[in-house]
Structure 1
Amino acid sequence: MYVQFSVGDDGYVDGLSAAHNLALDPSLPYLTEMTQDEFDYFFNRSHLFYVDNGVLTDDQKEFVIKAQQAKKHVKAYLVDPCGHIVDIQHVPEDETDRYIIEPIPEGVVNPRWDGEKWVSGEVVDPPTVEELQQENERLKKENEVNAMAVMELAEIMLNGGGK
């Protein structure tokens, strides 16, 4: 199987993907081949693997790197004139001038680029425990009212439709 991976600033593997066909992920610059057993070993110890002289190793096993993309790719957002996302791609790090490469912060809903940062028409904060408890009580009461209405309707239907 083909295995693609990336290496973090610390020199160790920090991302990986495997497939039986050669469907390249541009965000993972290194490519090697492994058997299923070798991949299982690598997957369970990937945080211990690093690249050394064209070889992926953990000092116990070695895998020859078959290919390495010449340029590092990054996740990039193409936006329209209003700042809304039109497309998401992985592009070479040095070809990002028409893209936004700033990650979208957590909690931003319906992201839009304002020219300097990601903004949102709405930032969703998770509900508080108190708000959840209040909503739970409201739903319980609503459920009780609905159950009573169903019982009344069933009684009417069993008694001949109220005639």
Structure 2
Amino acid sequence: MHRPDLYESHGDRLRNGLNQVTPATNINIVCASGMKSNKMAAQSLTGGHQDVMVAGGMESMSNSDEASLDSQWEQWKLTHGKEYNGQGEEGIRRAIWEKNMHMIEAHNKEAALGIHSFTMGMNHLGDLRPEEVCCCKKTCDRKSKLPKSVD
């Protein structure tokens, strides 16, 4: 079955004044196709395979919508056995968790572009502020002993 939405890059090149022999690639993944296309273009340029590249995505499923964020929050609480003393505390912890989630997503987008050498993920500390994680001087002092090569 022909699915025109799977071949958007080919139509896009024609709509934007490029001819049919101009190479075009579709990335048929649901999430983060824009990031993947930019990464592939960057690799092609830095590897000397192409002199000019056009890259982009057709969707923005990388940005979590509210329903998805709600389900991620509920799953995270279940996974890590999190319970709060009322909706007030939960609201505060959820806001911190969301801020951390967005920071992680932004970092990972940059990592996909080669800006960072590692990716990040949410863990059991996701509902804590940095000063709550680093609760004692001994723990904080360990960070200063990391090698300078660590991002």
- The TM tier, using the shorter chain, reads under 0.3
- Specify which structure has the bigger relative contact order, considering alpha-carbon pairs within 8 angstroms and separated by 6 or more residues: 2
Higher helix residue share: 2
* TM-score (normalizing by structure 1): 0.24
Higher strand residue share: 1
* TM-score (normalizing by structure 2): 0.25
